[in-house]
Structure 1
Amino acid sequence: MLDVAAQPPGTDVPALLRDLHRQLSLEAFGSARLRFVHYPLADWLMHQSLGLSADDGRSALVRRLRDRRGPRGATDAVPAGGDAVSILSQVVLWLVRRAVPGVVFRVAVSGRVPGIGRHYRWFMRQQYLAPRQSVTFLGFAERLTAGWRDGEQPDQVAKLLLHAFLEDLRQAYRRRPWRPSDWRRTAYPVLLLDNVAPGSLGHVLVRLLGDVRTETGRNDPLLVVAAADVPPPELPVPHPLADADEAYQEWSEALAEMRRLRRAAAWLVVLRPDAAETGPPPRGGLRPFSAPEPPWWSRRFLPAAVALTLVVAGGAWAGSRWAPGCHPSPTGGRVSVQVVEGECVGYSDRATQIFNNDPGQEALRTVQERIFAQNRAAEEVWERSDHRGPYLTLVYLGTLTGNRTRADEESYVSEREELEGMATAQYALLQESAGADGAALLRIVVANGGRQMRHADRAVAMLADLARDDPTVLGVVGLVESRLSTARALRELNRVGLPVLAPTLSADRIDANSRLYLQVSAPNTDQVAMVESYARQVLKVGEAHVYWTTGEDSSLTEDLYVGTLVDGLRQRFGTRITRLEEWHTGRRLTAECGFGGLLFYAGRWSEFDGFLRALRECGDNPPKHLVADDSVNRYMANPGLRAAAPGNVPVTYVSKAALGTCAALRAAEARRDEARASFLTWIQADNLLDPPRCRPDRPHPVGERVSLAYDASMMVVRALESLAARLHHAGPRQRWEPNSVNPVGVHAEVLRQNAGQGYPGVAGLIRYPPDSGEPVDKRLALLRVERVPDVATDPVEVYHCGTADRPEPATCVAVATTR
């Protein structure tokens, strides 16, 4: 409320506004205090005196404006002495306290950078005092200071102050959907001007207020109630003070129309006190004025509740997709992962995401780190070569999580060995690529399909997106186990057009799930034929007992490897199988003690340890001929498990890569077999596998699956190099364009190269018939260990079938006489 008659002599419009600003700035109206920005700056400028020198005045104004924004801090200069750290810290401190604020201030008052100095920019865009004549805000601000303002029209100055005041009210009452606090203001401010007589200061204020509203065309939320015994004639018709309620109701009903017509008196109500009244009018039944309650969604608790809900929901969502050790990379690369039933599923080509942080799995993590380091090296070599050589990406898709293990137990031996084989292929290409334009470079993406490949569908969906975005992705290596989930993954990979090269999958007819499928190992049909031939020709036995297992939470129908192996044994042995049963943990095997026929274990490696322990009861009378399938390779490659196994039962087991053992590789080196000798050199290197393999001083075994994964990778690499040579026939030094080939074309080239003489793999010759992804006459062998706990003694090859190096009629040969 402003009583115009009570103002001291000499009061002007700026003084009235200062009083009104003081009253409205109080937090006394049931909501947050109004925040004024433009008006205080204009009023502050009017109180500044700069002197008569233009240059000195401009400098003083700049300095005062900067001080008004905040303290400038210390003015000490940068010290001349001290150590480097001290000098650097002082320089940084000086920049933060002096130089940076000065730059920010200059940018703000320039008005040229959006989002900075908006209130300065507003003064240059409003219409009073012709701001464009001043070019910059600093020039305009000078014109408002004491002394320099004398040449301006007083009405223009007053209108500028009013306009700035109303602009602050407009912004304070602007409702933004993202700011609930704006919606808590449910009542507009009201200015009661008492004793507004014609020609009075109140009359001048009302007139100027109407002029500003008319000239700017801007609406504002300030309702002016003018009370006068004899109001000025240009004001609206006054209402008796006793009829204030009716006056308010009439005004509120007409407000929308008056705002639409831009009437100057849209926000003005005039009241006339009754001359007979002395003191406040009787309120009687007058309706009290009170601000409506704000909407429920604008209450102060809501932002906190929404923020908390978003945090909880975001945390739950992130926890469902990511977890410690399972998160996307913030630094780029090919990384896409999510948590599925507690397992980290997805793919990665960077050390920022390494799969499996379980205790005891250091070897699995180490080979991933080696691959990712070689990925960076391959990228650098390709960049330095100006992209002249072919560059491809292969995805390793396997089971990298989900097994229950002890803290000192390595449970992912097969996966680790297959990754080591791919790392060896990658390493070999890095060694030969420095000066050879036609030599390929390999990047490896590691992908996890979860325990027993149960989440392979999720992983494949991510890989499909990767293949669409990255034309260098030409195939998938791995898949580890032949299960229904693996078959589904093969069908999906076939749908998206990605070839699969499986180092160890061998379930019969699994190639029917993908026309782009190629397996490196012989099918179960060949394994069964070899076992039957060994039993008949070498062991000279006719009777066979077969026990099968499928692993945890699986069945014979779901386990395609065990299911087709058991079916093949039934067909091949027929009535000679006198016992065919499922074995499970806790079942005794005393009935097999001293059994002289073939005792065949047709199950998963994870149950073989329990199977051997059950035979421990036989003591000095174990079964004569225990033979196990190739899955047992995973058990035999695990020294921790073998160390605690019984030593009374010799074991003969199927090997898919007997030609890739240390002894076989040394023999190949001696006869100058260049391919296997080179492979031996790579795996003995200091900077590849940990530990290096097949060294004379450290005879660490190479691993069953290392050579198989190496062969799978190199088949794709050589096929791509062949395609690249034909594409670059006219210009061998031209840049390699990944889009010039596609995965289906590379698959066709692999088949073309291996249709005749076959691919000379480290683990044996690889040939494919025209209508199948299963190799023909692939080398298989039977290895024997006399004492399972004796991990320092290499197994002995006792029998093999298939071809090693040349496409010749396949034969089965007994290598040594069994005991």
Structure 2
Amino acid sequence: MHDPDKTVAIICGASQWPHLNRFAGDAAFRNTAKGVEQYLAGRAGMGLAASNILNLFDSTISAVEHFDRIRAFLLGHMDRLHSRDGRGMLVLVAYIGHGAFFEGQRFYCLLLRETHEPAPVESSMRVTVLAHTLRSTAPRSARIVILDSCFAGHAANDFQGAVEEVAAAKVDEIVEQEARLDRRARESAGQIERILGYDSASGVALLCASSSRDPARLAGKGSFTLFGRALIDVLEVGDRHRPGPMSLRQICGLIAARLESIRDAPAPQVHSPEQDGGRDLADAPLFPNPAGPPRPLPGVERRRRQRQLTRAAVAVAVLAAVGISTGGGARFAGHDPGYLRGHCGTEITTLISVGAECIGLTDGSFDLFQPVDRDEAVENRIRSVENTIAAQNRLAEQRHREHPDRPYVTLVDLEALTAPEGGTAAGLTAERESLEGLAVAQNLQLDAEEAGAPLIRVLIGNAGRDMQSGPRLAAQIADSARKDPSIVGVIGLNLSNQATKNTVAVLNDARIPTVATTLSFDYLADWIPLFVQVAPQDRSEAATAAGFAAQLGTSKRVRIYYSGDPNDLYSANLRDDAAYWFEKFGFTVQTTAFTPAGQGTDAQQPRPGDRLIGDAAAAGADNCSIDGIAFFAARGVPDFGTFLDGVASCGGTDATVIGGDDVTRHVADPAARYRTPSVPYYFMSFTPVPETDPEPGPARDFHARLNTLFPFEKDGQRSLDGHAALTFDATQVYVAAVTQLHRNGREISAAALSRQITKLGSFQGVTGTFDYGDANRPNVPRHKPVTVMRVRHGDVDPEIQAYCGELPGRRRSPEPWCPPDADENPPTPPR
């Protein structure tokens, strides 16, 4: 019996040939292809996920591009299944259309929509090339080719041709070199396959609509092909006389019996040009038999259920069943502790151990969050979010199978999910909330009833502490996107530092757009074309902070504290912008660098003329018995908490503390927030928080859906920091761009989306109005709101203290002191 997870299908052919007058088109070809696809995806049929089907029928791409797409498709699934040579995979190829000979019977070709004179051979799908592509890409796979075309039986000769044998010889040479490495893997995997009740066969078998001398026929103009109609009937009805799954030879016999009464109907044929160890693939019971007993649970589903139990179950139940291939050769994880250590104790090749961290990608079924300490309540909330995303991923695949016309895209949420040193067990709350926003957006699309509403699959990526493994993971994403075209973009990126800049640069070089949620560094959008942000820039934040401070009536003296770490682009940038705007509002400015947690003083590089005071606690204590403004332009976790400890150490201060937007990460952690209740402070936020009775609109709808999906967010201690809303809006940028491309009939790809996003114009999100119409900076929203919030006694005041920017629907207007040129100043220096 086939395993749906390890079965992939490719549909080729055409219903018309506009460049070849002697070959007539007909809807019967298209109807047959549609029927085959429905059988492959249907629950009563093969039950394949949409991502396991490559449908190139009636495609206008060239023959060469057909082969490139087929190869990339197979390689992508081989990588997903950890199979370097295709072992264990069942590859189904169906061609529906015209078959013809060119150049005096020399070449048997399958005609494509773009086949044309004067080069019909080169612009067709030559069967010899198709055979070579399948064999050289996945040599150990089981390959079943169904040809619904004239003279289809001739293809058996091409699958045994010289080109195929040369390719096979090269592949066999490589495989033999690896034999000693993976012999144990094959033996153990074979034992598991036998236990689960099916054989991992390989080789090639062909089911042909006609012999090498006979043309194929239509059942009727505009209906189906004669062979196709019989094939679909047999697959849908089954064989009531022989219980159990059906073989290809059995299906051929049933088709022949159906066509027997039709005069001059061509007789179908089965050929097995390549057999594995004398086993004929045509006799393998691989196809469901609707008339027989229910099929057993596939082995992959059993392994999936085991994978959900514990990480130990993954290692024991799954690793014992599969051999894993990597770029360095075959590995059998079940007998290689070193492999497990290198992949976070799992068989998942997309996860990599880097020191004590687990770096890589997951669909939500593996927990990538790595807090500094363990807390059961915190972990339960994280797992709730990850489990929701994993479940919604499965539902998105199902919806796409049911509605294949709906666009289906994959977004990667890439963040630093390893907590900074010195934080609390809840130090990754902001990152968890970001995922919640993505889950809400995914859920909204699942509920959408519009025919063209996009469906979203989500991958979660951990780029390591401070994004240090981001460039490596970006390269992994780029490689995955080449194999899986549904991967169209990246969101997230929660730190503006040198590692993040390098990460975005790698994605940009791969033509993969990035829509950042909280990044506000002024120059990424100027330096990297495919970088888009939903947050305002540091310059706007600094202008709002300085304008607000000027209205407080305090001394016109400000001390700006920032990180001396030369890799922290955000902190140095916000220091520069704050100094510029506080001076414009009449403040005397003093700028002071401190040493962030986990670093030494000798590594710090403060701006020329600035003093270096010590750690964040020393910076906080610097405000004892001093009035004016203390503006914190550094990291919220863990340094802002340490800064507040320093302020509290001297019994308080007359200074007014204002934190930059990264302080929202501190605010998101209740334990950190309540640690210093004696020190009140303001903080900058990029999200207007929900009011007690918000006006109808995106914000109220978003929070209602958020509370439904994650009831724990109704906790009275929720931070109102806005990370979930920002990620929701970042996802909506992609949704809007995908919708527009689909509506205009254009192909949806990463490159197309990167162009479309900057053409979105204006739309209303949860966190404000998005207007990407600026000619100078089209990847940054204009006049995005920046709000000022307040924390007293550890509690977040839900009332907005002030805001600048455009925020439609609010009863309160922006402050009259908001600088109109906040989006432009200070100007960007030369790169």
The separation in 2 between residues aligned to 1:589 and 1:702, in whole angstroms, is 25
Alpha-carbon contact 2:359-2:463 (below 8 Å) kept: yes
Alpha-carbon contact 1:782-1:797 (below 8 Å) kept: yes
Aligned to 2:728: 710
Letter matched to residue 694 of structure 2: A
Offset of 1:692 from its aligned partner? Answer: 4.0
SS in 1 for 2:744: helix
Letter matched to residue 357 of structure 2: E
Judging changes above 3 Å, is the alpha-carbon distance between structure 1 residues 637 and 439 closer, same or farther for their aligned structure 2 residues? same
Aligned to 1:380: 398
SS in 2 for 1:592: coil
Judging changes above 3 Å, is the alpha-carbon distance between structure 1 residues 540 and 403 closer, same or farther for their aligned structure 2 residues? closer
The reply to whether residue 623 of structure 1 matches residue 630 of structure 2 is no
The separation in 1 between residues aligned to 2:711 and 2:471, in whole angstroms, is 32
The reply to whether residue 689 of structure 1 matches residue 710 of structure 2 is yes
- 1:396-407 pair list within 5 angstroms: 396-404=413-421
The reply to whether residue 680 of structure 1 matches residue 680 of structure 2 is no
The reply to whether residue 322 of structure 1 matches residue 343 of structure 2 is yes
Judging changes above 3 Å, is the alpha-carbon distance between structure 1 residues 395 and 177 closer, same or farther for their aligned structure 2 residues? closer
The separation in 2 between residues aligned to 1:476 and 1:703, in whole angstroms, is 22
Alpha-carbon contact 2:667-2:719 (below 8 Å) kept: no
SS in 2 for 1:498: coil
Alpha-carbon contact 2:367-2:386 (below 8 Å) kept: no
2:768 to 764, 770, 793: 764
Judging changes above 3 Å, is the alpha-carbon distance between structure 1 residues 607 and 344 closer, same or farther for their aligned structure 2 residues? same
Alpha-carbon contact 1:798-1:814 (below 8 Å) kept: no
The separation in 2 between residues aligned to 1:177 and 1:528, in whole angstroms, is 60
The reply to whether residue 479 of structure 1 matches residue 479 of structure 2 is no
The reply to whether residue 640 of structure 1 matches residue 671 of structure 2 is yes
Could you say which structure has the larger radius of gyration?
A: 1
Instruction: Please give the root-mean-square deviation of Cα atoms over the aligned residues, in Å.
Output: 3.1
Aligned to 1:46: none
1:359 to 366, 374, 379: 374
Instruction: Give the paired residue count.
Output: 462
Alpha-carbon contact 1:800-1:813 (below 8 Å) kept: no
The reply to whether residue 453 of structure 1 matches residue 449 of structure 2 is no
- 1:488-527 pair list within 5 angstroms: 488-527=502-541
2:806 to 800, 803, 806: 803
Offset of 1:541 from its aligned partner? Answer: 3.7
Aligned to 1:425: 441
SS in 2 for 1:439: coil
Offset of 1:783 from its aligned partner? Answer: 0.5
SS in 1 for 2:350: strand
Judging changes above 3 Å, is the alpha-carbon distance between structure 1 residues 622 and 538 closer, same or farther for their aligned structure 2 residues? closer
The separation in 2 between residues aligned to 1:485 and 1:623, in whole angstroms, is 38
Percent identity (aligned)? 26
Offset of 1:495 from its aligned partner? Answer: 0.5
TM-score under structure 2 length normalisation: 0.52
What whole-Å deviation, never above 9, does each CA across 1:303-333 have from its counterpart, x for those lacking one? xxxxxxx999984641552133xx344xxxx
The reply to whether residue 576 of structure 1 matches residue 588 of structure 2 is yes
Offset of 1:569 from its aligned partner? Answer: 2.2
Which structure has more strand as a fraction of its residues? 2
Q: Which moved more, 1:461-470 or 1:587-596?
A: 587-596
Offset of 1:344 from its aligned partner? Answer: 1.2
The separation in 2 between residues aligned to 1:588 and 1:535, in whole angstroms, is 20
Offset of 1:684 from its aligned partner? Answer: 2.3
2:752 to 745, 756, 773: 745
The reply to whether residue 599 of structure 1 matches residue 606 of structure 2 is no
Judging changes above 3 Å, is the alpha-carbon distance between structure 1 residues 787 and 389 closer, same or farther for their aligned structure 2 residues? same
SS in 2 for 1:747: helix
Offset of 1:381 from its aligned partner? Answer: 1.2
Judging changes above 3 Å, is the alpha-carbon distance between structure 1 residues 587 and 701 closer, same or farther for their aligned structure 2 residues? closer
Judging changes above 3 Å, is the alpha-carbon distance between structure 1 residues 652 and 355 closer, same or farther for their aligned structure 2 residues? closer
SS in 1 for 2:566: coil
The separation in 2 between residues aligned to 1:787 and 1:610, in whole angstroms, is 17
1:391 to 400, 404, 408: 408
Alpha-carbon contact 1:394-1:442 (below 8 Å) kept: yes
Alpha-carbon contact 1:715-1:759 (below 8 Å) kept: no
The separation in 2 between residues aligned to 1:586 and 1:702, in whole angstroms, is 26
Alpha-carbon contact 1:328-1:336 (below 8 Å) kept: no
Offset of 1:355 from its aligned partner? Answer: 4.4
Letter matched to residue 580 of structure 1: T
Letter matched to residue 497 of structure 1: R
Letter matched to residue 808 of structure 2: D
Alpha-carbon contact 1:595-1:623 (below 8 Å) kept: yes
TM-score under structure 1 length normalisation: 0.53
Offset of 1:492 from its aligned partner? Answer: 0.4
What whole-Å deviation, never above 9, does each CA across 1:74-109 have from its counterpart, x for those lacking one? xxxxxxxxxxxxxxxxxxxxxxxxxxxxxxxxxxxx
The reply to whether residue 776 of structure 1 matches residue 776 of structure 2 is no
Offset of 1:472 from its aligned partner? Answer: 1.2
Alpha-carbon contact 1:662-1:701 (below 8 Å) kept: no
SS in 2 for 1:662: coil
SS in 2 for 1:812: coil
Alpha-carbon contact 2:617-2:644 (below 8 Å) kept: no
Offset of 1:622 from its aligned partner? Answer: 1.8
The separation in 1 between residues aligned to 2:590 and 2:727, in whole angstroms, is 37
Letter matched to residue 344 of structure 1: C
What whole-Å deviation, never above 9, does each CA across 1:410-456 have from its counterpart, x for those lacking one? 111221111111000001111124xx311111111111110000001
Offset of 1:678 from its aligned partner? Answer: 1.9
What whole-Å deviation, never above 9, does each CA across 1:123-173 have from its counterpart, x for those lacking one? xxxxxxxxxxxxxxxxxxxxxxxxxxxxxxxxxxxxxxxxxxxxxxxxxxx
